[in-house]
Structure 1
Amino acid sequence: MFSSISSWWSSSPPTPVPTGEKYDPTNPKMNPLNPHGLKPCCACPETKSARDACFLQNGSEEGQCAELIKKHVECMRGLGFQI
């Protein structure tokens, strides 16, 4: 039961972390779905503005803006962003 806890204090060296690069959705070489290297703030401007307008008009009630949120998330995922 305590073997995993006691291993924290063992004298063996820690397991090395992989040296591979972290996934960057704005890097076109890592993410071919985003060939222009758009950042999340600039991606999907049409769905983003419609979603934001809905929030401004209706407040923070997600129910009235659920379809617009869904479309924006789909657009972002289509560009390789992990949402």
Structure 2
Amino acid sequence: MFESISSWWSPSPAPAPKEKYDPTNPKMNPLNPQGLKPCCACPETKSARDACFLENGGEDGKCALLIKKHVECMRGLGFNI
């Protein structure tokens, strides 16, 4: 009888903390079923982007399309970029 009354004044139990989003966890991120880490994801676009930076020294605009393609690939795997 007193349990219901005392529960009104006692603090409610804290909700369980949510697990931090991990894009490499296939259970949390179905877009990345292989569990690739960011360093190993999208190797084709990454190598093209890196080669462009090496050839052009990071000049504005020369590598923009390759950067855009790499970012799209990474986001397609569920990475927040």
* Interval containing the TM-score (normalised by the shorter chain): 0.7 to 0.9
> Could you state the TM-score of these two structures normalised by the residue count of structure 1?
0.78
Identical columns (%): 82
Deviation of residue 62 (structure 1)? 3.5
1:6-45 CA distances to partner (integer Å, 9 max, x unpaired)?
Answer: xxxxxxxxxx796110000000000000000000000000
Which residue does the alignment assign to 1:58?
56
Residue number in structure 1 paired with 2:5: none
Q: Which runs of 4+ in 1 moved over 4 A?
A: none
For the aligned residues, what is the CA RMSD? Answer: 1.5
SS in 1 for 2:62: helix
| Unaligned runs of at least 5 residues, structure 1 | 1-15
1:46 equivalent to 2:44? Answer yes
Alpha-carbon distance in 1 for matches of 2:60, 2:24: 28
Paired amino acid for 1:42: C
| TM-score where L is the length of structure 2 | 0.79
d(CA) in 1 for partners of 2:19, 2:76: 22
Return the offset for 1:60.
Answer: 1.6
Structure 1 residues 53 and 17: CA distance shift in structure 2, 3 A: farther
| Alpha-carbon displacement from aligned partner over 1:26-75 (angstroms, at most 9, x marks no partner) | 00000000000000000000000000000000002241000000000000
Query: Would the alpha carbon gap of residues 67 and 20 (structure 1) be closer, same or farther in structure 2, given more than 3 Å must change?
Result: same
